[in-house]
Amino acid sequence: MFGLGFGEILLIAVVALVVLGPERLPKVARSAGLWVGRIQNFINNVKTELNQQAGVAEFRQARDSIEATARSFERDVNTYVRNIRGEADALKHQLTQDKPQEDTDNMSVLEPLHDYRTQIAEAPLLHRVSLHRQALQRRRDMRPRRSITPKLRVRRH
């Protein structure tokens, strides 16, 4: 860790033996070992926490990119629906201007177009299922199915 070789450690041990004496050296060595262990444990905890935060950051980036793609897809679908509605309105306007109003057969031609337009207006553009519901569904799908196991009967003679 600090780049201490065997010679340096041996020199430190000899100096500690001379300074502390043989009575206090085991207690000091034990407490020093505990402190070194605590410091290593703390450093390992910090490393794992940093790795977890990095993983969370990567997950957030992936989630944000997926959400941006979904928003752009939704915008594209909305523009296509608006274009289709505009074309349907133009066709309806063109059909009503081409034929006189007194012809009742034209109205029967326009009624299905009107019904289609109201269905488009009432239908939601995109159906989104929440992530929580998706997770619950996956968990439900992964559950093992209960199967009926036959009970063994013992024959008595």
pLDDT in tens, 60-73: 888 899 999 999 99
The residue among 149 and 105 whose pLDDT is bigger is 149
Q: Report the distance separating Cα 5 and Cα 75, nearest Å.
A: 65
pLDDT band of 41, cuts 50, 70, 90: very high
Helix ranges (H only) for the chain are 6-98, 104-122, 131-142
Is a pLDDT exceeding 70 seen at residue 21? yes
The residue among 133 and 124 whose pLDDT is bigger is 133
pLDDT score of 19: 87
Mean pLDDT of the 17-31 span: 87
Q: What is the mean pLDDT of the chain?
A: 79
Q: What is the pLDDT of residues 71-127, one digit of tens each?
A: 999 999 999 999 999 998 888 888 888 765 555 555 555 555 555 555 555 555 555
The 8-class DSSP code of residue 3 comes to -
